[in-house]
Amino acid sequence: MNNTVFVTRKILDLLQVRNTKSHIEDTILSHPDHTSLLAVSDALNTYSLKNLSAKIDKTRLPELPLPCIVQVKKEESPVFWVLNRCMEDSVSFYDDSNTLKHESKESFLKKWTGICLLVDKTETISEPGIDKKLSSIRLAQSLSALLLLLLIIWVSNTLFNSDITAKPENIVYTLVYTLLKVGGLLVGAALLWFEVDQYNPKLQALCSGGKKVDCHAVLNSKHARLFNGSLSLGVLGLSYFFATFLYLPIQEFSMSSLAILTFFSFSTFPILLISAYYQGMIIGQWCKFCIGIQVILITEIILGHAAGFYENPIVLQTLPVLGILLIVPILLWKFVKPLLDKERETNLYKRGFKKIKNNPKVLSSLLAASRKIETAPNGLGISLKRNTAEYDIIKVCNPYCGPCATAHPHLEELVNRGKINLQILFTASTNHVDNRAKPVRHLLAINDQGNELRTQQALDNWYSAPKKDYNAFALKYPLNGELAQQDAKIEAMYGWCKKEKIAHTPTLFINGYELPMEYYNAKDLKEILG
């Protein structure tokens, strides 16, 4: 699953095509055959990237346009690599673990199945809505960076203007002590990340490291949770480091705050022993994150003792502040974690639903159960045909219908890809009170001129206009007496619509069967048929 997501993003990056991980994951993981080269090809199609899957004679390896995706044999099952360079005696590629590797051509050819996906970069490459997505990402990154900068300034100013500056060695000890708190915060955050996304490849890489290292076994065990499983050690760890880190600048790095936190560090020593006992003796596995927390706590204890922080007088009136800081992260996590779990489940259900919905076999079954047109609309309306088309689609629409306008670009894209023949019929009548007749006459008259490109442009201009203004449209596409010749065609379409009992627009027919619009729309067809 991750292999197809990775190779798609990697080849887009190598081709310098802007992309977002979320779009790639949604496109591929919702594909009916998400582990296949077809899923990668369909994902690249959403970027308007021309691509072709083929089986090539291995002797023609130097002729392949690079970068490209290749299928290689592996013990479990074939995987995909991104071939980056092909030299005289060697090749370089990104393997399924996202590592750039160099290998002799002879060794590579033994693994390569000959199957590859060739990609050609075009001028119209774009991820749908990429600018808006990247703007949102950049805003979040900028705000995060600003928040971090302000936090650093605040902590630094407070530290170097506190009473510990009287002794230079105290500054060093306190600075190191503060950095340990930051390190603990990062490890604590990783523990919480693990709770909501434990199968993330990055976390998997961090957790691996031998037969006795298994974060899953430790963190998912009953020993890693308190109060009947309602409180994890991960949130306790983050709460500890969050509270003790912020307590220092809030108390202006006073000697009293350092003394209190040193005793707090000393109190964690029994917990360290218990954690080591359970990992080593009871569970028989070790967690890298837990070991990281243990190392930081032990270092804290040693540093606090070496610096003599515990010898300073303690102001007990500040303890409630520390207590509040300890409770806040736990309460926040109680609210945030269900939201994160719900979002993850929603994504899983959404992708699972789309996987079923986007399956051509499911669509075929639903079409077979829907009504079939009784009379073929031969010669009616506007037809856009392609020699390579696999499907014939009839679109019955109203020129002033909003959903019809929304459906048009998706269907036109399928026509331009050569996937469908499209026949456009209109529900207008020749009745003088029917305002639909004017634009329909004009579009039919333009189509009669025999210039398909001009017809497509006219359709695009009409449907893409935010306000449907016939007079402005007529000025853009001037005609002479052709309009008077269209009434018979409009009457024929109107009669066909009445006979077929067209009740709403748009109504779509695929190979003669009505598309169930309660389940599908034109955008769905672009993903299924495209």
pLDDT score for 210:
66
Q: Residue 371's closest CA among 516, 219, 170, 175?
A: 516
Check which CATH number belongs to the domain holding 390 and give it. 3.40.30.10
Range of the domain at 263: 162-343
End-to-end CA distance of the chain: 21
pLDDT band at 124, cuts 50/70/90?
low
Same domain, 60 and 31: yes
Residue 366 in any domain: the answer is: no
Give the total number of structural domains in the chain: 4
* Dist CA 214 CA 385 (whole Å): 59
Q: Where are the alpha helices (DSSP H) in 251-310?
A: 255-267, 269-277, 288-307
Going by C-beta distance under 8 Å and a sequence separation of 6 or more, which residues neighbour residue 491?
A: 429, 430
Same domain, 209 and 243: yes
Same domain, 436 and 400: yes
- Parallel, antiparallel, or unpaired for β 513-514 and 507-510? antiparallel
Same domain, 49 and 8: yes
pLDDT band at 14, cuts 50/70/90?
very high
Sign of CA dihedral 351, 353, 356, 360: negative
Phi then psi dihedrals of residue 47, to 5 deg:
-95, 5
Peptide bond preceding 506: is omega within 30 degrees of 0, i.e. cis?
yes
| DSSP of 97-140 | TS-EEEEEHHHHHHHEEEEEEEEE--TT---TTHHHHHHHHHHH
Phi then psi dihedrals of residue 77, to 5 deg:
-165, 160
Residue 357 in any domain: the answer is: no
Chain centroid offset of residue 187 CA: 25
- Parallel, antiparallel, or unpaired for β 112-120 and 68-72? antiparallel
Q: Residue 414's closest CA among 386, 441, 379?
A: 386
Residue 511 has pLDDT above 80, yes or no: yes
* Dist CA 295 CA 297 (whole Å): 6
Task: Specify the higher pLDDT residue, 30 or 206.
Answer: 30
Give the burial class of 276: count Cβ atoms within 10 A of its Cβ; 0-12 exposed, 13-18 middle, 19 or more buried: middle
Residue 348 in any domain: the answer is: no
pLDDT score for 255:
87
pLDDT score for 408:
93
Residue 356 in any domain: the answer is: no
pLDDT band at 232, cuts 50/70/90?
confident
Residue 327 has pLDDT above 90, yes or no: yes
Q: Once rounded to an integer, what is the mean pLDDT over residues 208-233?
A: 76
CA distances from 442 to 84, 406, 412, 439 (A): 52, 20, 19, 5
* Dist CA 250 CA 322 (whole Å): 10
* Dist CA 260 CA 244 (whole Å): 10
User: Are the C-beta atoms of residues 408 and 463 closer than 8 Å to each other?
Assistant: yes
The amino acid at 94: Y
pLDDT band at 492, cuts 50/70/90?
very high
- Parallel, antiparallel, or unpaired for β 391-397 and 420-426? parallel
pLDDT score for 285:
83
Residue 228 has pLDDT above 80, yes or no: no
Residue 214 has pLDDT above 60, yes or no: yes
Mean pLDDT, the chain, whole residue set: 88
Which residue, of 154, 171, 204, is where some domain finishes? 154
Q: If you compute the radius of gyration of the chain from its CA atoms, what whole number of angstroms results?
A: 33
Residue 164 has pLDDT above 80, yes or no: no
Which residue, of 343, 358, 382, is where some domain finishes? 343
Task: Specify the range with the lowest mean pLDDT, choosing from 6-15, 47-56, 217-226, 423-432.
Answer: 217-226
Residue 364 in any domain: the answer is: no
Going by C-beta distance under 8 Å and a sequence separation of 6 or more, which residues neighbour residue 341?
A: 196
Same domain, 419 and 334: no
pLDDT tens for 264-316 read 899 989 888 888 888 888 888 888 888 889 999 999 999 988 888 888 888 88
Q: Once rounded to an integer, what is the mean pLDDT over residues 161-166?
A: 73
Strand partners, 91: 86, 103
Chain centroid offset of residue 527 CA: 16
Same domain, 110 and 139: no
Same domain, 112 and 174: no
Residue 352 in any domain: the answer is: no
Residue 22, SS3?
A: helix
pLDDT tens for 360-388 read 888 889 999 999 999 999 999 999 999 99
Give the burial class of 287: count Cβ atoms within 10 A of its Cβ; 0-12 exposed, 13-18 middle, 19 or more buried: buried
Same domain, 150 and 204: no
Same domain, 330 and 185: yes
Same domain, 212 and 148: no
Check which CATH number belongs to the domain holding 178 and give it. 1.20.1440
pLDDT band at 426, cuts 50/70/90?
very high
Same domain, 86 and 232: no
* Dist CA 243 CA 261 (whole Å): 10
Residue 14 in any domain: the answer is: yes
Q: Once rounded to an integer, what is the mean pLDDT over residues 406-425?
A: 92
Going by C-beta distance under 8 Å and a sequence separation of 6 or more, which residues neighbour residue 183?
A: 292, 296
* Percent of residues, the chain, with pLDDT higher than 70: 97
Residue 105 has pLDDT above 70, yes or no: yes
Same domain, 260 and 383: no
Check which CATH number belongs to the domain holding 112 and give it. 3.90.70.10
pLDDT tens for 270-284 read 888 888 888 888 888
User: Are the C-beta atoms of residues 489 and 429 closer than 8 Å to each other?
Assistant: no
Residue 523 in any domain: the answer is: yes
pLDDT band at 410, cuts 50/70/90?
very high
pLDDT score for 272:
87
Residue 1 has pLDDT above 70, yes or no: no
pLDDT score for 34:
87
Task: Specify the range with the lowest mean pLDDT, choosing from 150-159, 218-227, 466-475, 508-517.
Answer: 218-227
